[in-house]
């Protein structure tokens, strides 16, 4: 068992991501403040900062409404000065036409795993992380 300072390594999700299976809180007997964790099995704390950053990210929603998606695209700068990502997506949809255009016009929800989302992302050279961030931010919009 390994004792870890809770003030320096207090993100439990990060400790679990590093391989900790059991975390036992150790508290100050006078103040009841959390001072450390007894961790089993022992973990290598070298990757703690990266694991804590990853653990603190909000989850990517599986879907957002069409309104949330389009508002987020409108708020995001596009590929050209004065353009938005909505302008870029609209142009890509017009170029693709067919099924993509029907989906863009009629889908009431945009699913992160939808093949049209993947296709448009590839066309616009958006990384998976950028698309995830768009979905996270879109989900915050009350639309």
Q: pLDDT, tens digit, for every residue of 91-102?
A: 999 999 899 999
Domain boundaries defined on the chain = 2-55, 63-139
Q: Which H helix or E strand runs over 46?
A: none
Q: Which residue has the tokens 């508290």?
A: 27
pTM attached to this predicted model: 0.69
- Give me the pLDDT at residue 52, please: 86
* Gap between the Cα atoms of 103 and 99, Å rounded: 6
Q: Which two tokens stand for residue 42?
A: 């022992």
- Give me the pLDDT at residue 34, please: 93
- Give me the pLDDT at residue 44, please: 87
Task: List, for the chain, all residue ranges whose pLDDT scores fall below the cut of 50.
Answer: none
- Give me the pLDDT at residue 57, please: 85
Please return the burial class of 47, using the count of CB atoms within 10 Å of its CB with bins 0-12, 13-18 and 19+. Answer: middle
- Give me the pLDDT at residue 124, please: 96
Neighbours of 116 (CB within 10 A): 18
- Give me the pLDDT at residue 112, please: 96
Nearest to 84 by CA among 72, 95, 76: 76
- Give me the pLDDT at residue 61, please: 96
Beta bridge partners of 24: 38
């Amino acid at each position: 068992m390994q004792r870890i300072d809770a003030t320096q390594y207090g993100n439990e999700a990060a400790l679990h991501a590093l391989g900790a299976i059991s975390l036992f809180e150790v508290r100050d007997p006078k103040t009841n403040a959390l001072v450390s964790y007894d961790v089993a099995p022992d973990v290598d704390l070298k990757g703690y900062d990266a694991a804590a950053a990853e653990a603190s990210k909000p989850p990517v929603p599986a879907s957002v409404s069409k309104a949330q998606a389009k508002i987020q695209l409108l708020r995001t700068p596009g590929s050209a000065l004065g353009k938005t990502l909505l302008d870029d997506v609209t142009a890509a949809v017009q170029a693709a036409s067919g099924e993509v255009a029907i989906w863009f016009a009629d889908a009431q929800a945009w699913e992160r795993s939808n093949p049209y989302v993947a296709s448009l992302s590839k066309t616009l050279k958006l990384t998976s992380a950028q698309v995830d961030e768009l979905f996270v931010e879109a989900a915050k919009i009350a639309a």
